[in-house]
Structures are given as structure tokens and as C-alpha cells.
Structure 1
Amino acid sequence: MDTMTLTSPGDPTSPAAASNTAYPPTQPTSGSASTGSLPPRGGRLHRVWRGADTDPAWARPALMGVLLATLVLYTWNLTASGYANSFYSAAVQAGSESWKAFFFGSSDAANSITVDKPPASLWVMALSVRLLGLNSFAILFPQVLMGVATVGVVYTTVKRHFGAAAGLIAGVALALTPVAALMFTFNNPDALLTLLMALGAWATMKAIEQASPKWMMIVGVFIGLGFLTKTLQVLLVVPFFGLAYLVAAPTTLRKRIIHSLMAVGTMVLSAGWWVAIVELIPASARPYIGGSQTNSFLELTFGYNGLGRLSGDETGSVGGGGGAAGGQWGETGLFRMFSSSVGGQVSWLIPSALILLAAGLWLRGRLPRTDLRRAAYVVWGGWLVVTMLVFSFMAGIFHEYYTVALAPAIAALVGMGAVEVWERRDSAVATVALSAAIAAAATWSFILLSRTTAYGEWLRVSVLALGMAAALLVLGLRWFHPRAVPLVLAAALVAGLAGPAAYTVSTTAQAHSGSIVTAGPAGSGGGPGGMRGGMPPQQQGQTGTTQPGGAPTGGTTGGGMGGLLDASTPSTAVVAALSQDADQFTWVAAAVGSQTAAGLQLGTGLPVMAIGGFNGSDPSPTLAQFQQYVANGKIHYFASGGRGFGNQNGGSSSSSEIASWVEQNFTAVTIDGSTFYDLTQPLSATS
């Protein structure tokens, strides 16, 4: 690496030159030789290995190395997590058995109720299970591939206008973000959502380059699919995607507006087809919409999963809202992303990203409207700032792992900004910004590493010393021998990435299970099994034995049938009892709460009804409906001990009514220490 490695010869520094940046770059990017000096291209394998003629020779091999390392890091301990979040794994199992359950995202193959999210992420996993069978690898490996793909997309998007070095910095920073390593090895919807948002940013930059309505419509497709993954969260990136196009696309304002409206229309169509089917089909012909109180996906979207997350007014939720003084989902406020529970997940490079974002916008502030680098800052910077502010002040349900949505934007801004200020290092503003970004990364890493005892003193002290030295030396690089420059830059990179790298390795070395998981070393957030924080304290306990798939649960041991946050694996005797005469019943069992039902379903491979959905607070089924199911001989057993929070925050009390009715009218049987009620054996005539 020499002093020119980060320099893009074609980068304009004058307004006249910058006017050409509205179109795809035609000049060699950082460190590249002229095309005439390159050896003739060979076959397809050579093209894959070498990349474009305008790329430096090291760029494509380095990218492949980063992608391969990410794949290995995320895969090596993957199946230790078993079924991970059994709530979604049970729905995946159902979708692999029933195409109707696949389409709606049902919790069981008999289609009693759906999960409380749209089904796009389940579709990917269910197809994998149909191909590879029901096992931990089949469920979790698609998430790993999404992680590798997201790293590649961020690299490609950043490299296009800032050079290969910027792309590699961004890709490595993303791969080593602890919460990214967590969620790209876990089966929550956030992995697919993050990939789709990154693809949206990539397509937005392509659209801006070409003033292309086609690419704007592709942006709409990615956003629409993001909605079918996790509803309204994907819309947080839309305002600045649209603003960047309206400002920077090299065409008339009228066409920019029309193209943006076309993107909105495509977005609505990409998501709306599924929503329309669900809303228009008779309720009797589909499963109940989990998470809603009125069996409506629109209510779920704008209530429990939408505005309720912002206000804290979530009907049927298990916890109340937060507030400036703290609440059941953690203290809200401007510095929430830096708190003791959230900081280690994602915030390592946020201070540096914000410094470099401000510097980049300042340095490019007077260039023409169509400047593509400034447009990139708007796309990625808007993504980061808007999403971070929403997460910081939302008063409803908030989990630490949500912050994976910030990771691509942080990584991109660090890569882009680092190269930008390096290229402009003759400017005092750029040099000071680079030094400040390095110092901020080292200082904040020192603080975050001080919150855990997992790595001792040596790591945090080394990071701080190395980073502060690099920050000071950067200020005087012009007086250094050229051979010393790479050493200073390498020290800066190590200081910025050593802390998150340590957290990431610790994350992938552990099993994670249940509904609430966090990244980092054991004990950094409280609670075993990867379940640390994010749950109202008075509602964290549950019973459980082992996580389906073999990993330990996040609950206390006790031989129960699972709980609100995690499922337990039923014993061989329980599986045998529930499987007996299974073909005579629609559901071999029913249980309050989705996690309790999920454990039984994954253990038996047979449909189990989740009464009340995830929280046990949905009116599905009502007592009258459940009584009719029992009268018709559709349910064999009722599992005692399921956890639910019916009638809380305005939720339905159906689950508690059903449990009371069953206990009063049916025979209790004990199977290997677990209590069930045989719904074919009434104590007396049921009412």
C-alpha cells in the first residue's frame, strides 16, 4: 500500500470537473492503472477474479477475501443456536408443510393464526427447509447468505463513486458490526430487511446516475419487499432516497418528480398485492392475523407494529412505553444508541460516521447539483440519521437487535468519508475531520470495552493508545516519509475495528435463542442464552429446559412447557403422547402463547394451536370458537403452563378464559413431569 492507495485520480475537486459526476465514472478509480497496461483478459474465471479493467488489481481478490471471511465467520458456529427464535422456526416448519401456511405466514400448518409480521422472511427459510429438511442449518444459513450479500452490496455501492478502498473499508466495517453478526446468524426478519434496504440504496444511486425511471421503480420493488418483511420500518429510508433523487438526478425537475411518483407506485404494488389478498379474502378462509385485535393486517401494520411502536400505545403488548426518565422498554432520548444496553451492539463507529458525514457534505457543498458523491452522503446519511432518531425516541417495544438496520449506513459513511477526507488532506478541514474521526472511534471503543470484563485491560488500553497516536500523527502526515503513511493508516483502522471485531467474534462463538437476543460477550448485557435486556424486567422470567435443536434456553430450568420469550424441547414421552392418533385431530395440542406452542410443534412436527398468538393477548380463538373446536374433536390436548398476557394493555382475555374452562372441565394428565389436559376426556358434560 502506498500513499496513493486511497486517492481517486478521477475525483473532481473543482466545480467544472464535478459537473461530470452525474454520469457513471469513465476514469480509473483509486489505485488503478490505465487499461492499456493491463494484461489481455482471459476466460470467464479470469474476469471473475480480476474484475473490471478500471479496478486496481488488488480490488476483486480483496473483495472475495472479505466475502469469504464473512461467510466463514458467520457459519462456523451457526447450528449451536438450534432453532434460534422458535416463534419463527415453527412458522417456517408450518410453511414447509402447507402452501397456505407458507403464503400467510401461519404459526402452524393447520392455519389457526399467523405470526405478527408479514411473511417474506419466512418464505425464504421455508423454501430452504423444503429443500434441505427441517433443521437448524436449513433455517439459519439463508440469513448468513443475506449477510454476505449485504456486505457485497454495500461494497459495490460505495466503490462505484469512492473507489475500491472505500468499498472495502465499508464492507469490513459492516461485517464486523456485532449486531450484524448476530442477526445474520439468526432467524428474525431483520436480516432480510437490512439486505433489502441496502439494495434500495444501491438502486437509488444507479437511478441518480442515469436519471432512470426504471431504476427508481426497482427501488420501489425493494422497498415494497421490505414492507412485506417488517412493515413500516423500511419506510424510514425512503425520505432521503427520494430527496437524493429529486436533488441530484441529471434531468428536469418535472421528470424527477414523475420518476419519484413511479417509484412510489411500484412500491405500493410490490407490497399491496399481498395485503389486498389478505384483507379481501373472507376471514373464515384464512388464519387469524396474529398481533391484531380485529383480525386485520392493516390494524397490525398501523397499530401494534406501526404508530404504537412510536407512542407506546400498543394494544395487547406485554409492556408499556418508555420516556425521558426511562420506561419498560428502556430510557428514550438522543443518546439511547449509546446506552449500556444498546451501545455495544452497533454504536462503535457512529461518532466517526457522523463526523465524516458532516465533513463530506461540507467539502462537497458548493459542487453542482448533480454531484454523485454528495448524493451518496444524502442517501446513506439520511438513512442513518432518520433511523437512529426514530429508534432513540420510540416509546413502544424496542429491542437492541433492531439496530442492525443502522449498520450498512454507518459502514458506508465511514468508508466514503475516510476516503473523501484523505483525498482532500491538503485541506485543514479534511485533515482535522480525519483525525477527529480516528480519535472518536478509539475513545468510544475504549468506553464500550470498559463496560465488560471479557477482554481485560489490554484491549481497551491498546485501542485507545493506538487510536490517539494515529489521530495525532495524521495531522502531520505531510512531513512524514511516504513509507510511514501506510503504518499510520493501518493503526487507525486497527484502532477503529478491534473493539467491534472482538464483540463480533464473541457473538458468533455463542448460541443465541429466544425472542430477545443481543450481541457481545456473555454477561455484557445480563441474562443467559443470548437473551440480555430489552424485556420489561417484571416479565423476563419463564420456564424451559432445552432449546429446540439442542441449545440451552434463555429461561430458568424447571421442566415447564416454555414461556413468553423462548420455547422448550418436549421430552420423548411428550412427543409420543401427542403423536398418538395424530391423524384424527387437526391440532395435536393447543397452548397459550406462541413460544409454548412452537416448542411442542417443532418437537412433534405436528400442528399445535397457539392460543392468543405471541403474547397470548389476541382473541384467537374466542372461548366459543375453542369450545366448538373441542366439540368437533379437532384438538387432542391442552398444554398447561403456557405464558400469556391476555387482557393487558387492552388485549383480549380469551386465552385466560379458555385456560380456566379447560381446567374446570377436562381431565389433567401428567406426562414426564408436564401437565396436559386431554380434551377427549371431560370430567363431566361441558358447557
Structure 2
Amino acid sequence: MAAITYPRAMAFRVSAVWATRLSCAALLAVTFVLYMWGLDRNGWANAYYAAAVQAGTKSWTAFFFGSLDASNFITVDKSPAFLWVMEISARLFGFNYWSVLVPQALEGVATVAIVFVAVRRWFGPAAGIVAGAVVALTPVAALMFRFNNPDALLVLLLTAAMYATLRAAESGSTRWLMLAAALIGTGFLAKMLQAFVIVPVVILVYLLAGRPALAQRIKQLLIAGLTLVVASGWWVAVVELWPAASRPYIGGSQDNSLLNLVFGYNGFGRITGDEAGSVGGLGAIGSRWGITGWNRLFLSEFGGQVSWLIPAALLLLAAGLWFSWRGRRTDLARASYLMWGGGLLVTGAVFSFAQGIIHPYYAVAIAPSIGALVGSGSLELWKRRRDVRARLLLAGAVAVTAAWAYVLLDRSPDWYPGLKVAILVLGLVAGAMIAAGPLPGRALATAFAATALFAVLAGPAAYTLETVATAHSGAIPSAGPSLVGTAIGPGGTGGALRGRGGFGQPAAGALAPPQGGGGSFLQASRPGAALTAMLQASSGSFRWVAATVDANSAAGYELATGDPVMAIGGFNGSDPAPTLAQFQDYVSRGQIHYFIAGGMRGSGSGSASAIATWVSQNFTASSVDGVTVYDLTSPLR
């Protein structure tokens, strides 16, 4: 019987499939280790959200509404989907640092995986590896995928939505388009209107590149729009229809309305700067929260967080569209460039010109787009390197990235000073060799490709490793080393409000300084043993063991005691909740044991200041662990 033989091509395809799988596995394994390594050094990270997670493990009502305390006085100032992930983890594995932070790390790994899959599908596995590596090594990504803010889940959902849109364009499937809409809607439940920033891009890409006829595409988009409304609106409808007297106050709103929070403080107010209840910022310089303009993402606050490869991404976007522009309408390579390029440009523009609260870590939202553009564009040009135009464009991308890395690293001149020189030299040499012409021999070409890759990734990789090795806490974390001439440093951006977490100077008259210790506007309180023990004593007899002004102060006491603490005025201390009359009623009914002085008194309605004044005039103060405490069960006689 003759021996059975197999075609060589089949063997090649099998080996190529396994090579792709192994390279993807290696990428995700490295990302997993990077995001998990020493994760507990961040402690509770953002104590404000950690306290809400703790509350959600003790009360299903707190879980659903996103309450800061298990007695459901006030919610956090975001929609709660990102908390639900952590709360499920904490209910399964116990409430601790790891159960709170591991979900963010896994969301980061999943985001890298989706970018790899999306780019590999239309540009090949090598492009997918480069794209995924760029995302994984973006400093702000390493920061936020190890932190318990809403951004980790938001970025995962929006990245998946962009991929689903491309799959819908490829197949003409209404289901893929509905999935994209559902993912964006769920993103709304994680961080409200920021999720909708990519909606115009999704619509444009599908209208231009979807396979069905135009009328069918419009019909599909209308169905997707309905899906978006349902996915994002169901929770809003429940909260708005729920009797206000039997649910917690909506933190961040000025009238206990979720719609006020959605469209005001967390919505258009971020664009216009008209944010009722907001405090802090830089006064008249640009906006209250930073200098605005086309170059905002390249300045000190944002530059080292995310901008390393933005110039290359824009150049490669232009190159990709140039080489694919004459393709058929449904060309998926061009659709991919439009999808990721649109995400980068639209989101970047919103962050650059917004007059309201925009923090540097928000820039993690554009990391997947940067990675996808760099991965797809660089490999596309590498394959076309016999074309002098492709060579010059690729060489320019490498050179400009190396030069920009030199500028960013020079902002921390004492931090590994030789690194910026090495990157610049290697980048310029690699760029020159690429521009010179097709290199003779596969080995030499591979060597210079590897050199170019090192030059473009070494800077952000170094920042990322510094970020992973540094503990981060507070409300406004920051990636990378300290910058000369700024208050930005390891652990968070600086300023008078920072405490390793805040940034900027307070607007005149907006904030009063902490009184009596025990916490600040952007940093949680850290009570001593005696104060913690005092709060825990007889805690079962009270609905709230204590009340204090602003949520970060309350969060620290909650995490230390495990008991509910009333956050007067919500996150900023400026929400009109409770009123003085409501607080007096709580006290008269014996529902609050102590009032802890400190925190920040927001300008808001004056409720926080009125309550603090009333307490100081009617109850005796004592000092415990350096913190001023009033026993609300013992009025002055």
C-alpha cells in the first residue's frame, strides 16, 4: 500500500496557525504578568470607589444604585456598572485589594486581546502583535488597568464595540451591529456620556463600508440605535422612576436627579465647563482643569501618559488611507483605518478642547486606537517597502517617534538620562536604513526592523515599568516618573490638593482647607487605631457610625471600620445633601453616632458648612488620633 503524503502547503498553514496562537498567548501572558505584578501595592487605589465596592458587598440596594455606603445615603458620581464587576468579584472572593483590582487587570488583558484579534484579522498576526504590544506598553494603560476607576471597563467595552462594528461591516450582519450598540450602551453604564463619543465614528464607518445596500444600512443603524437606547437607558429609567425617598441621593447632581448628573456634571458640563457642583481647577488658565488646545495631549500633564506614538499613529493613518483609498467601498483595511483613526481623532479632540473636568488618565480611552493604527499601518508599509513612498513614510514614523520620545524623556532629565539618547540614535539609524532602500538579506532586514521596534517602544515601556513599580492611590493617579517644573510625579499629579492624587490649584473661594485632619478633597482619610475602635464600638446601634464632609473622607473611615459613614455633600462636598434640617432629623432619631470634622467644604448650597457650624455649636468636641470628633448622642448642656 502506498504511503500517504501531505502537501507542503498544508504543513505551512498549520505551523502558521500555531505560530499565531503562540505569539498571541505570549503577548497576553506578558500583559497579564505586567498588569498583575505587585498589584496589591496600590492598596485600595481609589478609596472612594473601593468603599462603594465594600457597600455593594453588604447591600444589594447599594449594589444596584452604586451607593457609597451600605446604608444608602448617597451614590458615587458615576453610573455603577464598573462597580458591579468588582462587587461580584468581592462577593465571590472576599473584599480585599486583590478582589477589587484584579478585575481591572483582566479587563486590560482582554482589551489587548481584542486589539490583537481586530488587527490580525485584516492585517496579519505580526501587525496584531505590534498593535497589542503598543496598547499593553502605553503608560496610562498600565496605570488604569491596575486601578479601580471606571475607565478600565469603559475602554474594554468601547474597544469591543469598535471591533464588532468592523465585523458588522465585513458581514453585513445586523447582530454584530446590535452587539456594538449594546457594548457602547453598557459603556454608558460604566462612565455615562463618554461612552457615546465614538457613536458618530461607528455610524460613519458602517455607512461607508457596510456590505448591504444603503437603505438596508440605514435600517440596520436605526435598529442599532434602538439597541443603544435600551442598553444604556434601562438603568436610568429604573432609577428615575424609583421613588426618591426610598433610594439614595444621586451623588454629583444638584437636584437628586440622575438626568442632571448624566447631562450636567458628567455630560455636557465636561465640554462647556459649566459644571454645577464642581470645584478646583486652574482658574482662568485654559479651563478650570488644564490648558486646552490642539496640543493638550502633548503637554506635560498628558504627554508622558499617552502621546509617545500619537505622531506615528497619525502619520500611519494618513498613509493607510492613502494606499487604500482607491479600494472598493467595502474595503475592510480602509474601514479599519477609519474606525481606529476616527476613534483617536474624535476622542482626542474632545479631551483636547473640553473646558470642564478632564484628567490625564482619561487618555487611556485612545490607547487601543493608537495601538491598532501603529500595528496595522507599520506592517502595511513594511510589506510595501519596495515602494519608496512607503519606505519614507515608515522611516518618518520611526524617526519622529524616537525624536518625540527624546522630548518626553527630557522632561525628567535625571531619570535614566542615557535612555533618551539611545532611543534617538537607534531610531534615527533605523529610520535612515529603512528609507535607504530594501535591505539585502532577510536577517539584516529583520535586525533593523527589530531596532526600529525597540526605538519606538523603549520609551513608553520604561514609563510603564516605572508605573507598575510605583504605588498609586488617590482620585487622580498619574503614570511615569516626576517631571521637572511641574507637580506631576509618581503616584499622581500634584498640586495643593494632591496628596499623591490630585492636581491643580483651587479656584478662589471654592474650597476650605481640611479641619482637624482625617482626610482631604482627593485623598481618603486614614484613621488611627483609637479612632477606628471608637467608631466600631456600638456600630450596630446606628445607621451610620459617623458623618463627615466629602466622600473621600467618608471612604477612608468606611474602609477602616467596615461600617457605613455618611458623606455629607458627596464627592466634592458641594451636593445639597443632606440639608441642615434633614441632618438634624437624622441626629434626633439617633441614626448617626459621630460627626468627624475635616474634609473639604464645597461652595454648593452651603449645606456642608451649615451642618458643620451647627454641630460645633451644639455638641462637645474631642480629639482622637489628632482628629476632631463630636459625639452626636451627647449635646451640650
The verdict on a shared fold, with TM-score over 0.5 as the criterion, is yes
Could you tell me how far 1:204 is from its partner in structure 2?
Answer: 0.7
| 2:611 matched residue in structure 1 | 658
| 1:173 matched residue in structure 2 | 134
Q: Distance in 2 between matches of 1:115 and 1:417?
A: 41
**Pairing partner for 1:452 from 396, 409, 412:** 412
**Residue 105 in 1 paired to residue 66 in 2?**
yes
| 2:429 matched residue in structure 1 | 469
**Pairing partner for 2:401 from 441, 457, 460:** 441
Q: Distance in 1 between matches of 2:201 and 2:15?
A: 30
**Pairing partner for 1:348 from 308, 311, 335:** 308
| 1:148 matched residue in structure 2 | 109
1:366-385 per-residue CA deviation (whole Å, 9 max, x = no partner) reads 11101000000111000000
Q: Distance in 1 between matches of 2:439 and 2:227?
A: 55
Contact 2:480 2:490 in 1 (8 A): no
1:170-225 per-residue CA deviation (whole Å, 9 max, x = no partner) reads 00010000000000000000000000011001111111111000110000110000
Deviates more, 1:132-141 or 1:520-529: 520-529
Change (3 A) 1:286 1:562: same
Describe the SS at the equivalent of 1:679. strand
**Pairing partner for 2:164 from 203, 207, 218:** 203
| 1:261 matched residue in structure 2 | 222
Could you tell me how far 1:522 is from its partner in structure 2?
Answer: 4.2
Q: Distance in 1 between matches of 2:283 and 2:608?
A: 27
Describe the SS at the equivalent of 1:661. helix
Task: Map 1:619-634 onto structure 2 (within 5 A).
Answer: 619-634=576-591
Task: Map 1:569-580 onto structure 2 (within 5 A).
Answer: 569-580=526-537
Q: Distance in 1 between matches of 2:280 and 2:520?
A: 16
One-letter amino acid of the counterpart of residue 268, structure 1: V
Contact 2:501 2:522 in 1 (8 A): no
Contact 2:35 2:105 in 1 (8 A): yes
Describe the SS at the equivalent of 2:523. coil
**Residue 610 in 1 paired to residue 567 in 2?**
yes
Q: Distance in 2 between matches of 1:484 and 1:138?
A: 47
1:88-139 per-residue CA deviation (whole Å, 9 max, x = no partner) reads 0000000011000000000000000000000000001111111121211111
Change (3 A) 1:454 1:58: farther
Q: Distance in 2 between matches of 1:366 and 1:54?
A: 34
One-letter amino acid of the counterpart of residue 472, structure 2: H
**Residue 291 in 1 paired to residue 265 in 2?**
no
One-letter amino acid of the counterpart of residue 334, structure 2: R
| 1:511 matched residue in structure 2 | 471
Task: Map 1:537-616 onto structure 2 (within 5 A).
Answer: 537=495, 539-540=497-498, 560-616=517-573
**Residue 637 in 1 paired to residue 594 in 2?**
yes
Q: Distance in 1 between matches of 2:593 and 2:341?
A: 55
Could you tell me how far 1:330 is from its partner in structure 2?
Answer: 1.4
Change (3 A) 1:196 1:208: same
**Pairing partner for 1:78 from 29, 39, 45:** 39
Contact 2:415 2:481 in 1 (8 A): no
Q: Distance in 1 between matches of 2:17 and 2:500?
A: 55
Contact 2:273 2:288 in 1 (8 A): no
The CA RMSD measured in Å over matched residues stands at 2.0
One-letter amino acid of the counterpart of residue 246, structure 2: A
| 1:20 matched residue in structure 2 | none
One-letter amino acid of the counterpart of residue 615, structure 1: N
Could you tell me how far 1:527 is from its partner in structure 2?
Answer: 5.5
Change (3 A) 1:563 1:479: closer
**Residue 357 in 1 paired to residue 317 in 2?**
yes
| 2:509 matched residue in structure 1 | none
Describe the SS at the equivalent of 1:58. helix
Q: Distance in 2 between matches of 1:479 and 1:658?
A: 75
Q: Distance in 2 between matches of 1:479 and 1:437?
A: 18
Describe the SS at the equivalent of 1:254. helix
Describe the SS at the equivalent of 2:367. helix
Could you tell me how far 1:360 is from its partner in structure 2?
Answer: 0.3
One-letter amino acid of the counterpart of residue 627, structure 2: S
Task: Map 1:242-281 onto structure 2 (within 5 A).
Answer: 242-281=203-242
Could you tell me how far 1:261 is from its partner in structure 2?
Answer: 1.1
Q: Which runs of 5+ in 2 are unaligned?
A: 1-6, 503-512
Could you tell me how far 1:476 is from its partner in structure 2?
Answer: 2.3
| 1:330 matched residue in structure 2 | 290
Change (3 A) 1:543 1:589: farther
Matched-pair identity in % = 53
**Pairing partner for 2:28 from 50, 67, 71:** 67
Could you tell me how far 1:669 is from its partner in structure 2?
Answer: 1.9
Could you tell me how far 1:616 is from its partner in structure 2?
Answer: 0.4
One-letter amino acid of the counterpart of residue 175, structure 2: K
Q: Distance in 2 between matches of 1:653 and 1:54?
A: 69
Contact 1:322 1:328 in 2 (8 A): yes
Describe the SS at the equivalent of 1:620. coil
Could you tell me how far 1:53 is from its partner in structure 2?
Answer: 4.6
**Residue 667 in 1 paired to residue 624 in 2?**
no
Could you tell me how far 1:424 is from its partner in structure 2?
Answer: 2.1
Change (3 A) 1:157 1:652: same
Contact 1:542 1:562 in 2 (8 A): no
| 1:15 matched residue in structure 2 | none
Change (3 A) 1:540 1:458: closer
Q: Distance in 1 between matches of 2:527 and 2:395?
A: 57
Change (3 A) 1:102 1:356: same
Deviates more, 1:665-674 or 1:440-449: 665-674
Describe the SS at the equivalent of 2:100. helix
One-letter amino acid of the counterpart of residue 330, structure 1: G
One-letter amino acid of the counterpart of residue 262, structure 1: I
Describe the SS at the equivalent of 1:347. helix
Describe the SS at the equivalent of 2:631. strand
1:569-605 per-residue CA deviation (whole Å, 9 max, x = no partner) reads 2111111111111111000000000000000000000
> How many equivalent residue pairs?
620
Describe the SS at the equivalent of 1:341. helix
Q: Distance in 2 between matches of 1:543 and 1:143?
A: 19
Q: Distance in 1 between matches of 2:306 and 2:501?
A: 30
Q: Distance in 1 between matches of 2:226 and 2:488?
A: 45
Describe the SS at the equivalent of 2:149. coil
One-letter amino acid of the counterpart of residue 323, structure 2: L
Change (3 A) 1:542 1:620: farther
Contact 2:477 2:500 in 1 (8 A): no
Contact 1:319 1:397 in 2 (8 A): no
| 2:335 matched residue in structure 1 | 375
| 1:161 matched residue in structure 2 | 122
Q: Distance in 1 between matches of 2:110 and 2:515?
A: 41
Describe the SS at the equivalent of 2:301. coil
Contact 1:322 1:396 in 2 (8 A): no
1:469-512 per-residue CA deviation (whole Å, 9 max, x = no partner) reads 11110012325333210011001100000000000000000000
Task: Map 1:3-152 onto structure 2 (within 5 A).
Answer: 36-37=10-11, 53=14, 55-152=16-113
Contact 1:666 1:679 in 2 (8 A): yes
Describe the SS at the equivalent of 1:475. helix
Could you tell me how far 1:542 is from its partner in structure 2?
Answer: 9.9
Q: Distance in 1 between matches of 2:115 and 2:8?
A: 26
Q: Distance in 2 between matches of 1:108 and 1:644?
A: 20
User: Under a length normalisation based on structure 1, what TM-score does the superposition of the two structures give?
Assistant: 0.88
Change (3 A) 1:99 1:363: same
1:622-672 per-residue CA deviation (whole Å, 9 max, x = no partner) reads 111100000110000000112231x2xxx2211111111111001112222
